[in-house]
Structures are given as structure tokens and as C-alpha cells.
Structure 1
């Protein structure tokens, strides 16, 4: 059972859904650490799926994901669910929720992750094949900078408050799920995953580094990665050379992983 959930369950269940929607830190009652203008707040993202064959890594849960996870864990606890079951429900419900889920599914299917897993689409990772995926973040718990979602600055590798989350959360997950495919979403998440490679927890051949982050702000990069737009007319913020190189590396690694992949009974 999560020590954090045991600590915060009374606070979460006592709050109304309206309070959680208004402020996912519950006016600071869920804060577990701070330094300068950085704040780390609890949200129920500590569940790990030991059967996972793919790990999808973001930077940190944002306010929207924190709200969704808190609301779902509250519903589960009020309905009488055990802490482990409540954590599992909250993790799948809230991970990469919102519009970016569709973009992420499109990119994962585009590079052939579904074929490696033996399923028809990675969309089912959020439903019928949830046992195959572990959703996580470089920083397990939501981090806010001056009240806004943390977006990678200051560096999580050089900031003690944030590095502690890597040491306690992501490093443990990497050790448990070293056999899985690791997909960091965006360069900041990739920095954290590659730190796990440097520490010897993961091998680079199982890391699919270079896919654009599935946020709406990256719509142009995502469209180019998916082959839905050509180089003509791309804005200066898009780096097609880097995206092409990443796609080539990912495609080569996926080809080997698909070849090695065992079948998943009943999942075709």
C-alpha cells in the first residue's frame, strides 16, 4: 500500500469534487515538498504495472492529470475500493488524459508499437490491454513552478528537489521494467530516461527516443512525424532533420523489437 495514499486518503475523501477541480493541491494540503518557486504536490500516480511491456514517460503529471487522478481515486475510495485497486484505477484513468491521448496513440501506432505488443491499436492500452502498459513520468508527482505546470526548467537532473523524485521513483520503475519498451514523450522526459540508461538500469535498444511530445503545442511536429505534412511550409520552430533522424532510429529499433516480440494470446 502506498504510504502517500495512506497519508492523504482522508484529505482526498473529505474534499468535494468541486474543491479538487478548483485546485488539485487542495489549497496546499497535498503539498509534499517545495524549493523556491517549485512545489511538488501529491496525486495518486505511484501504481506500477509489473506485467507491462511498454512504459510511456511524460515529464510530470500536469494540473489536468492531477485533477483526473484525484477525482478517480476519490470515487474509488468512497465506493470502498482497496488502496491498491484505487491507485490502479486512478493511474489508467488519468494518464495522458485529454486531447494529447489521441496524438500519442497515432504516433505509437505509426511506429508499429501495436505490432510489437500483438494488439490491433495502442488505443486499447487504456482499456482492454491495460496490463501491457505502465504510464509514468520522469517526475512521478505533479510539479508546479510559480503555480504553473513544470515544463522542464530548471533541470530536473540538477535540482535536488526534482532529482530526488528521479532517484526514488523513476529509478525503481526502470529496475522493475527493464525488459519493456520505453517511450519518453519529448526531450525533457528523454533526458530522464537516458539518465536511467547511463545508470545501467535500461539498455538504449529498448528506448524509443525522439518522438514529439503529444501536446497541442507540438501539432506541427506531430503532423510531420506522422507523415501528414511535408517539409514545404513548415515553420522555423520545427526541425525536420532532427525528426527524420529520430524516426529512422525508432523505426530500426521497432523492427527488431517486433521481430523479437512474443504473441499476446487473444489480443490480435
Structure 2
């Protein structure tokens, strides 16, 4: 799809100060849901691990569009521009550091032959594929989509899963590990398991979402905070069960 928008992206300037994505990038809409194009097309088919979020947010979309525009203006090939755009926009800020801590804690480095998952964002980036259940940015009432309504029950969202996520996962090795970020993504990956695109053994569900807003759950999962110090909004029993399950699965890989 990148080629469809390449001329527009190359000749447009993008900024985080924008209120919304340009209407020229609108793919489709249904009621208060809208899907826009941003260059998240690159697929690393040789990856040993996949990090899968819900959908790129507005900030990620602008960063990807900015980088793609810059690359194209400098004469990069479309393939190089797509790769640079995706690497620039994927899981930045506090989310990245929390994600690294969680993956290191459950023992991923030993399973893919690195010292720390921080290397996945540097010298070992060839081992990872960053993606989203909904590849192209989805907005609800022009705000970042956060999983409601369910992406498996709404036709405009289900089309993204069927047209992009399932074919994308088919291109990966059957031993590639897949880390869903949150229960909404796990729901989408259950669809992939149902259709035989990936196996349940590949999907390492149960990690707290690495968002900075999820600090307490992350701290408890990592053993940095005890149950008696948790607020009422955090359920330690649920986290313990998810932790035990994912740790056991990683140990068997």
C-alpha cells in the first residue's frame, strides 16, 4: 500500500503539532471508527521474536510519516524508507524501557541468543519484528483506538486482521515467538491460532502492557512491589496466574 501514497508522503510535511492525520490518508471509516494509512508495511520475515501492539497511535503515525518523507526526499528506495519509518516509530519512550525489562525478566534473551532485549532496539534489530494487530492507525472519534469495540467483532477492524495481520503472520517462521501487548491483542492472535496461522505455543501472552500508565502492574509482575502495597485497581492474583503461565511457556521453548 506504500506505493499508493508514496507521492503524497514525499511531498508533504508532517508534524506532531498537527491535530489529526491528513484526509488524503484516510483508508475507510464506519461511524466513529476511522482507519488511516501510515507506513507500517515492512515485515521482517527472519525475525525470531514479534512484538505486537493494538494499532499505531497518532504519535507513532506522525513519526513514521515524517521519517518516510525524509528518507524519500533524500533519495532512499521505497523499501528503505518503509524500514526506517517502522524502526523510528516502533515502541518509543517509557514503553520501550518497560518492554525490555519485562522481556528480560521472563527469559527471552537466552531463548534468542542475546544478552538483553535492549539489543533488539539496536545491534540485534534484525531479530525482531514490530507490528500491530491492526496494522494501520485506527481512531475512535478521532482519538487513539484502545481496543473497544472489539476488533474481532467490528467488520472495519476485522478486515484489517484478515487482510493484513493473518497474511503477515503466515510469512514468519513457525518457531518465531510472538509477544502480544495486552488482552485485546491476545484476542486477535487467538483468531490467528484458530485459523492455523500460528500455534498457541508461539504466543507468549500474559505480560502487563508496557505503557507508562501501567507502572504498578509492571512493578508487581517484576517483583519490585509486594501485593500488600498495591492499590485496589491492581489484582495480584490475576497477575500471578498470567506470570506463572508465561514463565512456564518460555521455560519449555
Under TM normalisation by the shorter chain, which class is it? over 0.9
Aligned equivalent of 1:156, options 146, 151, 160: 151
Please give the alpha-carbon distance, in whole angstroms, between the structure 2 residues aligned to 1:241 and 1:5: 45
Aligned to 1:208: 204
Equivalent residues in 2 for 1:46-61 (5 A)? 46-61=41-56
Answering whether residue 233 of structure 2 is matched by residue 237 of structure 1, we say: yes
Query: Does the Cα contact within 8 Å between 1:108 and 1:122 map onto a contact in 2?
Result: yes
Contact preservation (8 Å) 2:20, 2:142: no
Shift of 1:173: 1.8
Q: Of the candidates 34, 37, 46, which is equivalent to residue 32 of structure 2?
A: 37
1:96 alignment counterpart: 91
1:54-203 alignment runs, 5 A limit:
54-177=49-172, 178-203=174-199
**Offset of 1:23 from its aligned partner?**
4.2
SS in 2 for 1:229: coil
Contact 1:114–1:122 under 8 Å retained in 2: yes
How far apart are residue 239 of structure 1 and its match? 1.6
Q: For the Cα contact (< 8 Å) 2:34–2:140, is it kept in 1? A: yes
Over 3 Å counting, the alpha-carbon distance change for 1:69 and 1:24 in structure 2 is farther
Q: 1:247 aligned to 2:228?
A: no
Deviation by residue 1:91-148 (Cα, 9 ceiling, x = unmatched): 1111112221111111011111111111111111112111111110010000000010
Q: What is the TM-score with the length of structure 1 in the denominator?
A: 0.91
2:215 aligns to what?
A: 219
Paired positions, count = 252
User: Contact 1:24–1:66 (CA<8 Å) still a contact in 2?
Assistant: no
Q: Which moved more, 1:124-133 or 1:135-144?
A: 124-133
Deviation string for 1:62-97 (max 9, x for gaps)?
111111111111111111111111111111111112
**C-alpha contact (below 8 Å) 1:24/1:67 kept by paired residues:** no
CA distance in 2, matches of 1:17, 1:86: 15
Q: How far did 1:179 drift?
A: 2.3
| CA–CA separation in structure 1 for the residues paired with 2:69 and 2:185 | 28
How far, CA to CA, are the matches of 2:27 and 2:179 in structure 1?
Answer: 28
**RMSD after superposition:** 1.2
Contact 1:58 1:185 in 2 (8 A): yes
CA distance in 2, matches of 1:233, 1:134: 36
Are the equivalent residues in 2 in contact too, given 1:24–1:70 (CA < 8 A)? no
Which segments of 5 or more consecutive residues in structure 2 lack a partner in the other structure?
none
Q: Is the 8 A contact 2:56 2:132 kept in 1?
A: yes
Q: CA deviation at 1:225?
A: 0.8
Query: Which residue number in structure 1 is paired with residue 10 of structure 2?
Result: 13
